[in-house]
Chains A and B, each alone.
Chain A
Amino acid sequence: MLLHGSISTPPSSIRLLKSQTYNTKLKLRVAAASASQIPAAVAENKLKFSISNEELESRGFLLKQSMEGLNLDQLNSVFVAVGFPRRDTEKIRVALENTDTLLWIEYSKTQKPVAFARATGDGVFNAIIWDVVVDPSFQGIGLGKAIMERLLEELLLKGITNIALYSEPRVLGFYRPLGFAADPDGIRGMVYSRKQNQKRK
């Protein structure tokens, strides 16, 4: 029996199989979500990914879940292209090696990363999402959303329901439809500032 609750019937037997393995994952997700106020529809995974893995693949976008095959210089270029300061590649390597969950999309034609996101945390209670980027040439087609949806699902499957991030003001509208809320109950994100401390009177 399909617990998916999906509206359309999967067209091929292969897809049916994939849906069935998904169901056991579903139960974990519902259990993980039960304690919080995640909307029932989301908890029961009635909302599928906005773009399926197959659809992504058919358009040449390959989803990756590990650092393997990820060229860090190319990743760094994507970071720089979206406006991050250029960071030392080896430091990026250390950061990724100490990141529990990461996802990236490789464009098969160029074999280069075009989207990326990662989440750090204690693996049990909290996770913070960092470095969400989509190459400017590939923005606006749903890659960022695709990565975020899958990253969230992976965290939920691990039982982590306290998921946070820091959003620049211009992309608050990107995160809100994904389920993120700013300053819930007056909780503020704060950052330590050394410069500020040196200037303070």
Chain B
Amino acid sequence: MLTNAVVAPPSLCSGHNSQLSNQLLFPYKLNYGLEGARRKQKVSPLKAGFWDSIRSGFLKNNATQVIEPPSTLPEEEEPLPQEIVLVERTQPDGTLEQVIFSSGGDVDVYDLQALCDKVGWPRRPLSKVAAALKNSYMVATLHSIRKSPEREGNDQKELIGMARATSDHAFNATIWDVLVDPGYQGQGLGKALVEQLIRALLQRDIGNITLFADSQVVDFYRNLGFEPDPEGIKGMFWYPRY
């Protein structure tokens, strides 16, 4: 579904996989309730709308539940929980799987490399990757946690998505390297990942959120609230590889 928001080339895993662009089409439309909810919002347009969007996306699958955040957030911003359970589903064999969003930025570079391999991005020196992550303002991840009744206490945790943003901590943020494990694409997770990242950035009062989108994903980001070339402003690159 979702490839990289990035540039020529994507930074952490250079190059991009054009095969992913074909998986942009969601099985369900995911942007309802968003507009109505947003009109009521003053501060954070994503609050109510986001959960509506996830819920409607999963109504068809009875085995899947959507978990709300523990408290009802007031209109004024409370600090967002760093971890949010996006999806919870029980497999026929009793295994419970959760997909968890986190903005805590705890990424194992080897796990990330494995994920980049899965989406077909070329490898980058791990020390540089580690430095890039460390220098990023926010690193958001999606993890799949599998809890089996037999393996009590031994959960299986897997990195299945990531997105990061660089920022000056005051005015601007730029989103890079959005990726989702191909095995988990097509479920609205990339959308959730980016929406949560935006939400966290807005909560920190970063007013200008930007990104560079490959042509195949421009519509994806449009649906998330991004506008290409606002007021004719163009993204430019210095001697791009393409």
Using Cβ atoms and an 8 Å threshold, which residues of chain A touch B133? 122
Interface secondary structure of B, over-half rule: mixed
A123's partner among B135, B210, B230 (CB-CB below 8 A) is: B135
> Is A1 an interface position by the 8 A CB rule?
no
A15-23, A51-59, A94-102, A109-117: which lies at the B interface?
Answer: A94-102
A130 touches B168 (CB 8 A): yes
* Interface size range of chain B in the complex: 35 or more
Assuming A122-B166, A125-B128, A130-B172, what are 4 further A-B pairs, CB within 8 angstroms? A37-B241, A122-B131, A187-B214, A188-B228
- Complex: A197 Cα to B198 Cα, angstroms: 13
Using Cβ atoms and an 8 Å threshold, which residues of chain B touch A9? none
A198 touches B45 (CB 8 A): yes
Interface size on A, residues (CB 8 A): 58
A169 touches B232 (CB 8 A): yes
A166 touches B233 (CB 8 A): yes
A191 touches B208 (CB 8 A): yes
Contact with A along B5-16 (1 / 0, CB 8 A): 011110110000
Q: Give residues in B with beta carbon < 8 Å to A.
A: 6-9, 11-12, 34-35, 38-39, 41, 45, 124, 128, 131-133, 135-136, 164, 166-172, 174, 176, 198, 202, 208-215, 218, 221-222, 224-242
With A120-B166, A126-B11, A190-B212 in contact, is A196–B227 under 8 Å at CB?
yes
Using Cβ atoms and an 8 Å threshold, which residues of chain B touch A98? 167-170
> Closest residue of chain A to B239, judged by CB?
A38
A-B contact pairs, 5 of them (CB 8 A): A120-B174, A152-B238, A185-B242, A187-B8, A190-B235
